[in-house]
Structure 1
Amino acid sequence: MTIKTARRPRVLFINEYSGDTEADQAIRDVADVYWFHGLDYEAAVPVVREMVEQYGPFDAFAGLFYIGDKFPMKWDEELLGALAPHCKLYAGPGAGYDKVDVDWITRTGAYYANSPREVGRRTADGALMLLLAAMRGLTPQDQSVRSGGWRDSGVRTLDWRASTVGIIGLGNIGHMLADMCAALGMSIIYTSRHRKDVPYEHVGLDELYARADCVVLTCPLTEETKGMINREAIGKMKDGVVLVNVARGEVVKEDDLVEALESRKGETLACQPRRNIMLKLLPVMRAALDVFENEPSVHSRLRSNPHVTLSPHSAAAPDSMSKGMNREVIRNVIRFLETGVPNTPEMLEPLAPECKCYCRQGAGYDMIDVEYITSTGAYFANAPVAPSSATAEGALALLLQTMKAIGPQEKRLRSGQWGDFKIRTLDWKTATVSLSVCITFAHPRPDLSMITCFPLMRYTQIGIVGLGNLGSNLARMCSALGFKVVYNTRSPRPDALYEYVPLEDLWTRSDAIVLACPLTSSTRGLVCKDTIARMKDGVILVNVSRGPVVVEDDLVEALNSGKVLRAALDVFEHEPQVHPGLLANPDVRTSFDSRCPTGSYPMSSGLLHVRITYLNPIDAPSPLVSDPVIRKDWGQH
């Protein structure tokens, strides 16, 4: 996936990031920005359509949230349909995405990226505040004082140092809340889809209900969690339990909660002040709710109950949190525009922090959030050894086919012609250009209309961009065939037998250029109009790295002008779509990402062997088969 085009990317925002000049400059450095003020869902639907009609397709769509502004919480095909299929990123504020039709977004070939980091920390803070308020009975005490009472409310409080807190959902928010509660002396038990590598006891849901003095909901809203706190679940809890919900309102059946709160049947803790008697504990003593089943509507009997602490979906303190959360949205957009992948590691988060090694076939890792994986204390290990030789062989085949002009010759042959045109082929061993003039039986007069004319030149120098495993294997084979090889990579290879040159020199000196580099923010769009202009006239270009390294609009223009003589492409900017200007050009050799035949048995078994071997050293001192992907500023993993 890529958004690199001949034009600047366009981003459509809900709400303007007013007052944040740093964020404003950062996004405008990489994209043209359009926005409309916050609207509710019904009003936003036609506005999105009108923006597309007026300004053309957008590459990313993002929502910024400010307290008091309207915001279309539901993101679905009706709202976003006009943006598809060109829009490849939908970036929303906040951690939850239960109102987002992620399945539809995925079917359009796009990402949905939430922004959980900033909101997670602040929501955990808010959850702790609500929990302590409920344990200490601050709401009923406050109401008692306001009505003229004083220390006679009979409100039972909990000593949190002697209390067990049960957390349902130990994701980002739950984990931070657990750490804070433990620091205050509370005992922590939790239940989650996966056992976590944390110093807290993992228990089943029924056991959590039975043991917890306080139950805190921090789980996502799913089919399994919707309505999970109902009459049956409450019946399994301790009498006098405190319930806190900072997850989603629909996790709790509010009618059942109200019934449990009111089930004292006329008895109140306040009616027995200062008496040394055992008070009947209520099925649910108190509740603290930040989210509601039908928000913004709040159940009337919750509003009237003094033992319920209420906040308007503001546990994350949105007035102070919005800047950080909106910056996270903007960082997601910027990273996607630069790399094709947003920051949010949504798919991997359920695996952390237990997972210590992420293994993936192949050499490339441009679609991997290595920074996030490293931040969890884990390795990411690719498998570059097995495919590098096969990929290099495929690259060499493409290079030689292009130098021998197989593409245009094959096209003429398939059209029923036989040698009725002149074509220059190259003897790469002697670097001598040979001219073949063939005679056709079908056409006595040669048709030269489709011949790409170029000066006779000596194809002696191959420039390889990227001397990793792939580039090194290709350089070795090219050198054995008599080519002179120069290369450029991030830093010179002291063990290389070939000349290292700056990128500028490689462009100007090479007769054929092979791209074998990884896709990064530095290499995305590397081969563009500006760099092509620095190359030799009549250069041959081969790309076996990643499609977005080449701006295809600029390459098509260079092929049509003759600046680039021929090209061989195994990867494409908008895979699986191929630029029509490339498909129509007989001087372009294309293949469908097949220079590395991963479907073959030798290739697949080699990759499998590497991936399995990776798993052995995780708990042992032996090194990984190949070096893990590391960036110096990411630490030692």
Structure 2
Amino acid sequence: MAPRVLVSDKLSPTAVEIFKDRGIEVDYLPELGKDKEKLLSVIDQYDGLAIRSATKVTEKLINNATNLKVVGRAGIGVDNVDIPAASRRGIIVMNTPFGNSITTAEHAVAMIFAVARQIPEANTSTHEGKWEKNRFMGVEITGKTLGVIGCGNIGSVVAMRAIGLRMHVVAFDPFLSAERAAELGVEKVELEDLFKRADFITLHTPLTDKTRGIIDKDAIAKMKKGVRIINCARGGLVNEADLVEALKSGKVAGAGIDVFETEPATENPLFNMPNVVCTPHLGASTSEAQENVAIQVAEQMSDYLTKGAVTNAINMPSISAEEAPRLKPFIKLAEVLGAFVGQVTDEAIEEVEILFDGSTTEMNRRALISAALAGLIRPQVADVNMVSAPVMAKERGIILSEVKRDKSGVFDGYIKLTVKSSKKTRTIAGTVFSDGKPRFIQIKGINLDAEVGQHMLYTTNYDVPGIIGLLGSICAKHQVNIANFQLGRNRPGGDAIALLYLDAPFPADVLKELRATDVILSAKPLSFDVAG
């Protein structure tokens, strides 16, 4: 059955055509996002939901979306999506962070010019026939210092444009590397240093608990007298009441505000203040940007629903369409390694270490880690997936670590999972052969080579004669057919394991008989999703 997508906000017709061209059924209902109850009643019919800002993807909506796999936001902001709730339900949330970068950056630069030269007020005055040439004494931007808070996709474009205008750019961004700063030609500084030095300050950071009110009265007190502040990012980054007071006192000489704490902003204390330029959230409002983000979100959602490729996801590691075919067998491997340990562990899991050896170190390790966690948790939580697994692991207080190692054995690359519980530590390793199928290559430090089957039996015992005959005879007596049989031991007379690949689930009554023998220390039936 073809995937089905709902477009509940206004989106370019091109996006609808992209969905159709990719074999996806699409319902274009651009007013539905405003009707919460109607949307709530139909959302369970869809695999994907494409939105802009009008549709509110709440926890209530997510709980009703029993078939939903992906939410695509045409634009960068995902304030209208309950991401934690989506993650818990295993729903991927995508945005389009690059589609409107240029447009928003250009609007910020336009705001800098408008505030520096008081263009809107001068325009109004001139239209009124006043010719107040001496009233509008602006400032040059050449040679001035621009402070960029948030030097990501948009902030970096603003920085480059400003450098082209002969401004000196200082940037605060915890994720900005020294190499990237040098590449952009900006000076990386701490926030307080930026406040002290900047003549103009422009914000390009998401709204989070840490960034809310990043510019308030305390921050403004550290700034130069006559500073000019631009916000084309998110309302709430600037404390509007504090900015109003600073504008009245002259500490702040001007401001360009495109976003507000409450939107739509039909009234605001910043309105009609001298040298305050206000626009109605126009940062991404160009025909090019609207077309770009619509096309991007349709392509991203289509690629995920038809190929499994994940691009620009907020709550899931990206998997490109190019790497998906090569990565898919290793994702399955990571999942079955996790599933093995999850099925043999009854006590609380405390720590998980994932070792990547050889060629696996160059793969998309975040995706592999998510798959391993999904397999590990699924025996306890059936509907967990790669999106929700990291969230659940964190909620359960599981400590996660990752190790990379150069090729160390006969395999080009393998993955080893070490799981520490309240009682013991368990290890398992696996790789993918040329046939694309996952294989177990080590359990409990014991080497073996076992194909992964849907139905398996795992036993532990001391290395004594008669184990093969015992297992074989019990299985034969109860008509349990063995497709494959692998043994391993750590040393002669030491610990030994057996892994049986079966045609059907191991019967519970036979399991009791097996456990009642004197030589089998433990026996655990296993099941794996080996499809795909």
- Alignment-mate amino acid for residue 49 of structure 1: L
1:79 is matched with 61
Matched, 1:143 2:158: no
Matched, 1:168 2:149: yes
1:76 is displaced (CA, Å) by: 1.5
1:38 is displaced (CA, Å) by: 2.5
* Distance (whole Å) between structure 1 residues aligned to residue 189 and residue 484 of structure 2: 71
Once the two structures are superposed, what CA deviation does each residue of 1:387-432 show, in whole Å capped at 9, x if it has no partner? 28943553895559899999xxx9xx99x986365969799xxxxx
Residue among 287, 302, 306 paired with 2:270? 302
- TM-score, normalization: structure 2? 0.62
Pick the structure with more strand per residue: 2
1:367 is displaced (CA, Å) by: 7.7
- Alignment-mate amino acid for residue 260 of structure 2: F
Structure 1 pair 204–385 and aligned structure 2 pair: CA distance change class (3 A): same
* Distance (whole Å) between structure 1 residues aligned to residue 237 and residue 453 of structure 2: 62
* Distance (whole Å) between structure 2 residues aligned to residue 248 and residue 426 of structure 1: 60
* Distance (whole Å) between structure 2 residues aligned to residue 417 and residue 83 of structure 1: 45
User: 2:70 touches 2:91 (CA, 8 Å); kept in 1?
Assistant: yes
Matched, 1:387 2:369: no
* Distance (whole Å) between structure 2 residues aligned to residue 255 and residue 164 of structure 1: 25
RMSD, aligned α-carbons:
4.1
* Distance (whole Å) between structure 2 residues aligned to residue 403 and residue 75 of structure 1: 40
1:18 is displaced (CA, Å) by: 5.2
- Alignment-mate amino acid for residue 161 of structure 1: T
Structure 1 pair 566–247 and aligned structure 2 pair: CA distance change class (3 A): same
* Distance (whole Å) between structure 2 residues aligned to residue 400 and residue 25 of structure 1: 39
1:10 is matched with 4
Query: Following TM superposition, where does structure 1 have runs of at least 4 consecutive aligned residues deviating by more than 4 angstroms?
Result: 25-28, 345-349, 364-370, 380-384, 395-406, 420-427, 565-568, 589-594
Give 1:306-321 correspondences, 5 Å limit.
306-321=274-289
Give 1:171-570 correspondences, 5 Å limit.
171-196=152-177, 197-198=180-181, 199-263=185-249, 282-344=250-312, 346=314, 361=356, 363=360, 365=363, 385-387=412-414, 390-391=430-431, 394=440, 398-399=450-451, 419=477
2:111 alignment partner, SS class: helix
User: 1:64 touches 1:326 (CA, 8 Å); kept in 2?
Assistant: no
* Distance (whole Å) between structure 2 residues aligned to residue 402 and residue 211 of structure 1: 64
* Distance (whole Å) between structure 2 residues aligned to residue 13 and residue 34 of structure 1: 6
User: 2:92 touches 2:316 (CA, 8 Å); kept in 1?
Assistant: no
1:156 is matched with 137
* Distance (whole Å) between structure 2 residues aligned to residue 194 and residue 99 of structure 1: 25
1:173 is displaced (CA, Å) by: 0.5
- Alignment-mate amino acid for residue 122 of structure 2: Q
Once the two structures are superposed, what CA deviation does each residue of 1:211-264 show, in whole Å capped at 9, x if it has no partner? 11101011110111111211221121111111100111111111111112122x
1:123 is matched with 104
1:195 is displaced (CA, Å) by: 3.3
2:39 is matched with 48
* Distance (whole Å) between structure 2 residues aligned to residue 195 and residue 160 of structure 1: 25
2:13 alignment partner, SS class: coil
1:100 is displaced (CA, Å) by: 2.1
Structure 1 pair 331–417 and aligned structure 2 pair: CA distance change class (3 A): closer
1:129 alignment partner, SS class: helix
Unaligned runs of 5+ in 2: 318-353, 369-403, 416-428, 434-438, 442-447, 459-467, 486-500, 506-524
Report the count of equivalent residues.
379
Q: Select the structure of larger CA radius of gyration.
A: 1
* Distance (whole Å) between structure 1 residues aligned to residue 190 and residue 484 of structure 2: 71
User: 1:113 touches 1:346 (CA, 8 Å); kept in 2?
Assistant: yes
Structure 1 pair 152–60 and aligned structure 2 pair: CA distance change class (3 A): same
User: 1:165 touches 1:189 (CA, 8 Å); kept in 2?
Assistant: yes
User: 2:18 touches 2:298 (CA, 8 Å); kept in 1?
Assistant: no
* Distance (whole Å) between structure 1 residues aligned to residue 79 and residue 16 of structure 2: 27
2:259 alignment partner, SS class: coil
Give 1:554-593 correspondences, 5 Å limit.
591-592=527-528
1:293 alignment partner, SS class: coil
- Alignment-mate amino acid for residue 235 of structure 1: A
* Distance (whole Å) between structure 2 residues aligned to residue 113 and residue 51 of structure 1: 21
- Alignment-mate amino acid for residue 30 of structure 2: H
- Alignment-mate amino acid for residue 304 of structure 1: N
Instruction: Identify which range, 201-210 or 385-394, moves more after superposition.
Output: 385-394
User: 1:143 touches 1:306 (CA, 8 Å); kept in 2?
Assistant: no
Once the two structures are superposed, what CA deviation does each residue of 1:551-577 show, in whole Å capped at 9, x if it has no partner? xxxxxxxxxxxxxx9699xxxxxxxxx
Matched, 1:36 2:29: yes
User: 2:95 touches 2:312 (CA, 8 Å); kept in 1?
Assistant: yes
